[in-house]
Amino acid sequence: MLRQEQKGKPIEIELGEVEGVYSNLAIITHSPAEIIIDFCRILPGMPKAKVKSRIIMTPQHAKLLMNALEDNIRKFEEKFGEIKLVQEEGGRNIGFKTE
């Protein structure tokens, strides 16, 4: 069980029997009211990627997620070293697409 703070009050988060889903491609789209992240898995030599999970959130929650990811990546790199990004021709990062 995890504990988080919400407005100064602790909340408990129960993980239960959660299974992780592997993703090596994320597609992000948005409307004025929401940010949609489709987590996909693409295999080498296969022409299609399959969406494994879709997360829909408000722009405010998406920005909080972005800040939390930035903080955790910074801490990870301080401990284990810089994460190197592989890029395609043209400078785009592999495994990440925005629309």
Q: What is the pLDDT of residue 2?
A: 47
Per the CB < 8 A criterion, the answer to whether 21 and 38 are in contact is no
Tell me how far apart the alpha carbons of residues 70 and 62 are, in angstroms, rounded to a whole number.
12
Query: Residue 23 CB: number of other CB atoms within 10 A?
Result: 17
- pLDDT bin (cut points 50, 70, 90) of residue 98 is low
**54: its two tokens:** 């879709």
Task: Give residue-wise pLDDT tens across range 11-61.
Answer: 888 888 888 999 999 999 999 999 999 999 988 888 888 999 999 999 999
Would the pTM of this model clear 0.75, i.e. be above it?
Answer: no
Domain boundaries, the chain: 22-98
The Cα-based distances of 22 to 48, 49, 50 in angstroms read 16, 12, 11
pLDDT at 66 over 70: yes
Residues present in the chain in total = 99
